[in-house]
Structure formats: structure tokens, C-alpha cells
Amino acid sequence: MLASLGGSSIFPFGLTRAPAAQLWAILGGHLGGACIGIACAQFLGSSLLAYALAVSLLLAVMLATRTVHPPAGANRIIMDSAQAHRVRC
């Protein structure tokens, strides 16, 4: 998660007036990206189609809800990596 959150820190501290720097955009973008990433990974696995569909869905959801936050687009890859490296008990 540090990669996308590191990119996100630039917005509120450096671009304070940008719409992507608002709290609702940061939270909505990251939460939406995480949920969509997990859902696509569950249904489609780790494939190029899953990545493309998740990013497309995330962009559509962010545009529809006015929560566009570019670093949140990386959440799909992060969620897939986390699931692939999860330790099973």
C-alpha cells in the first residue's frame, strides 16, 4: 500500500486546491480501488484481462462519483499482489 499512498501524499501537501487532493477523493478513490481490485481478482484471477477491467471499472466509478484520485489506480495491482503472497494457514 505504500506505493499508492506515497503518491497520494503529494496531492494534499503539494496540490492543496486540486480536486484530487480533497479528502473525499482520496478516500473514495482508494476504497473504491481496493474493493474493485479484490472483486476482479476473486472472479478473474491474476490476468491481464482482470487488470484492464479493474482499472476501467475504477475509472468509471471515480468519474461517476467525482472521486478521481490518480494514485488509487495502483490499488488493483497492490490488491492482487497481496492476495498472491498471502500466507495460507
**Could you tell me the pLDDT band of residue 82, with boundaries at 50, 70 and 90?**
low
The answer to whether residue 89 sits within a structural domain is no
**Could you tell me the pLDDT band of residue 89, with boundaries at 50, 70 and 90?**
very low
CB burial of residue 79 (10 Å; 0-12, 13-18, 19+): buried
If one counts the domains in the chain, the total is 1
The answer to whether residue 11 sits within a structural domain is yes
| pLDDT tens digits, one per residue of 32-81 | 888 888 888 888 877 788 888 888 898 898 899 888 888 877 777 776 66
The answer to whether residue 7 sits within a structural domain is yes
| pLDDT tens digits, one per residue of 3-27 | 666 777 777 777 777 777 787 888 8
Domain span at 65: 2-84
The answer to whether residue 55 sits within a structural domain is yes
Closest alpha carbon to 69 in 2, 14, 11: 11
Amino acid 64: pLDDT: 92
Amino acid 28: pLDDT: 84
